[in-house]
Amino acid sequence: MGAARAALASGVIEADIRSKSFGASHVLGPVRFTVRPGETVAILGPSGVGKSTLLRIVAGIDPRFEGSVARPERMAIVLQEPTLLPWRSAADNIRLVHPDLSRMKVHAMLDRVGLGDRPDHFPGQLSLGQQRRLALARAFAGNPEGLVMDEPFVSLDTETADRMLALTEALIAETRPATLLVTHAETEATRLADRILRLGGQPASLA
Q: Tell me the three-class secondary structure of 41-94, residue by residue.
A: EEEECCCCCCHHHHHHHHHCCCCCCEEEEECCCCEEEECCCCCCCCCCCHHHHH
Inside any domain, residue 69: no
Alpha carbon distance 147, 86 (integer Å): 24
Give a yes or no: residue 121 inside a domain.
Answer: yes
Amino acid at 127: S
* Angle, vertex CA 146, rays to CA 51 and CA 153, nearest 5: 50
Q: Is 131 a member of any domain? A: yes
**Is the pLDDT at 148 greater than 60, yes or no?**
yes
Task: Tell whether 170 is covered by a domain.
Answer: no
Tens digit of each residue's pLDDT (9 = 90 or more) over 186-205: 999 999 999 999 999 999 99
134 in a structural domain: yes
Residue 206 lies in a domain: no
Query: From CA 150, how far away is CA 186, in angstroms rounded?
Result: 14
Q: How many domains does the chain have?
A: 1
pLDDT confidence of residue 11? 86
Task: Indicate the average pLDDT of the chain.
Answer: 91
Q: Is residue 136 part of a domain?
A: yes
Task: Assign 157 a pLDDT band (cuts: 50, 70, 90).
Answer: confident
Its domain, for residue 116, covers 89-141
pTM: 0.90
